[in-house]
């Protein structure tokens, strides 16, 4: 399992200039490789990929005297071109919506912001807990470098729009985090939403922080300030950095909220059942698209999955179809339910509860059904929901004894 570790680095002015030169030469090489690839595709109807593109990258590096970028980094530029064209060919093959598919784009200044060293001890290496040696830049000071379990594979140096520099270290191995340790045998179903960010099958409602919406006022101010500045001026660059920092603050607030929430869920529940959502399709609703993207449901699922793997927990994803319309107590379907209805009232059994909590209990029932534990479904709804931990404890124990933990992780 590969994992990325991101750390802030503090280059001196000389080191920063060296890193900028490497990135700029990598950008030039990228554009030259892209030009050659497009020409070959247009004239000969063939693509330059793999080994041939690597050889071409090294040849151009030598001919154009791009000495600041290392040979390994030059080959990584070729890998980026290959990925761009593979994505292009995939889109052409799919031919969705009849739209014309454009070639991969050339990178203009400030549109290429990173450089990668794909092999450890070949362009970079760690010297100490706070020192990183990088090709042509020397020894960089790195912040809060923790012991990285596993084998270090690659390094990416990136400059963000705020002007800060970061080192992203890729390692391969088995990772465990003391903060991601499950201390319970309980299970839970989770329904994500906009009114409440999460509703659980236990009846807990977690408020939606609406981070982007709460920051829109300052973002609009920063955008107006940037718009009024003359292009190419120092004041415009300062305004651009202020805008980037405002967006970065939104990003950090969202990350802090999601990490706190997912850490809590992993600690408290052994099995977590969530919805498998089509975010791309949902954002076609222009009235809700901004709120849906602000909620970052995909990031929530991503964090739950990798943290569950570290903690030995299980994440199940189920089809959310009709989970809001079906009664979690008797199964009656309310086809007249709308988004404006925040309470679910069953006309068959008379149960009345929050619609998101009702959906969470249906999600849990579907998740347990995928495990073949139909006998526990009766505890997934109604007043007995708080007793779900007892029958599930035996399920988890049996899974551990039978060696079926890998089966769970496939979900």
Q: What would the DSSP string read from start to end of 287-351?
A: TTHHHHHHHTHHHHHHHHHHHHHHHT-EEEEE--TTTTTB-TTT--B-TT--TT--EEE-TTT--
Q: Which residue ranges in the chain fall short of pLDDT 50?
A: 373-411
pLDDT at res. 177: 65
Q: Rounded distance, CA 64 to CA 17, Å?
A: 20
pLDDT at res. 43: 82
pLDDT at res. 176: 66
Q: Is residue 124 within 8 Å of 133, Cβ to Cβ?
A: yes
CB atoms < 10 A from the CB of 281, how many?
8
pLDDT at res. 277: 85
Q: Compute, in degrees rounded to 10, the torsion defined by CA atoms 20, 24, 25, 27.
A: 140
> How far is the CA of 38 from the CAs of 56, 80, 198, 225, 311, in angstroms?
14, 14, 47, 39, 47
pLDDT at res. 101: 72
Reported pTM: 0.78
Buried b (16+ CB within 10 A) or exposed e, 35-74: ebbbeebeeeeebbbeeebbebbeebbeeeebebbbebbb
- For residue 274, the SS3 value is strand
pLDDT at res. 402: 29
Q: Is residue 307 within 8 Å of 264, Cβ to Cβ?
A: no
pLDDT at res. 146: 67
pLDDT at res. 172: 84
């Amino acid at each position: 399992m590969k994992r990325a570790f991101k750390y802030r680095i503090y280059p001196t002015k000389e080191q920063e200039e060296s890193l900028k030169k490497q990135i700029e030469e990598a950008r030039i090489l990228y554009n030259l490789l892209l030009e050659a690839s497009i020409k070959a595709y247009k004239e000969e109807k063939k693509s330059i990929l793999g080994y041939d593109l690597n050889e071409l990258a090294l040849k151009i590096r030598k001919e154009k005297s791009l000495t600041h970028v290392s040979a390994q980094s030059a080959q990584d530029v070729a890998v980026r071109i290959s990925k761009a064209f593979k994505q292009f060919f995939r889109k052409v093959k799919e031919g969705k919506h009849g739209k014309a598919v454009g070639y991969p784009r050339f990178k203009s200044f400030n549109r290429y912001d990173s450089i990668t060293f794909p092999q450890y001890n070949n362009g970079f290496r760690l010297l100490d807990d706070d020192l990183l040696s990088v090709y042509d830049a020397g020894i960089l000071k790195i912040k809060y470098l923790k012991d990285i379990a596993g084998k270090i594979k690659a390094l990416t140096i990136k400059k963000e729009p705020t002007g800060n520099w970061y080192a992203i270290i890729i390692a391969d191995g088995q990772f465990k985090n003391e903060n991601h340790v499950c201390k319970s045998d309980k299970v839970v179903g989770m329904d994500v939403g906009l009114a409440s960010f999460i509703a659980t099958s236990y009846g807990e409602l977690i408020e939606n922080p609406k981070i982007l919406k709460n920051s829109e006022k300052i973002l609009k101010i920063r955008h107006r300030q940037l718009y009024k500045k003359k292009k190419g001026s120092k004041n415009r660059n300062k305004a651009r950095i202020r805008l980037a920092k405002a967006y970065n603050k939104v990003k950090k607030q969202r990350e802090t909220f999601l990490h706190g929430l997912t850490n809590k869920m992993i600690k408290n529940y052994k099995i977590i059942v969530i919805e498998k959502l089509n975010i791309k399709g949902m954002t076609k609703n222009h009235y809700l698209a901004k709120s849906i993207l602000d909620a970052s449901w995909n990031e929530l699922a991503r964090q739950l999955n990798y943290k569950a793997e570290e903690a030995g927990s299980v994440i199940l994803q189920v089809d959310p179809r009709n989970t809001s319309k079906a009664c979690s107590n008797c199964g009656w379907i309310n086809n007249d339910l709308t988004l404006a209805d925040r309470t679910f009232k069953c006309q068959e059994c008379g149960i009345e509860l929050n619609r998101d909590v009702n959906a969470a209990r249906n999600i849990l029932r579907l998740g347990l059904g995928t495990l073949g534990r139909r006998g526990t479904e009766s505890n997934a709804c109604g007043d007995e929901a708080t007793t779900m931990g007892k029958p599930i404890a035996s399920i988890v124990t049996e899974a551990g004894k039978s060696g079926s933990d890998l089966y769970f992780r496939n979900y």
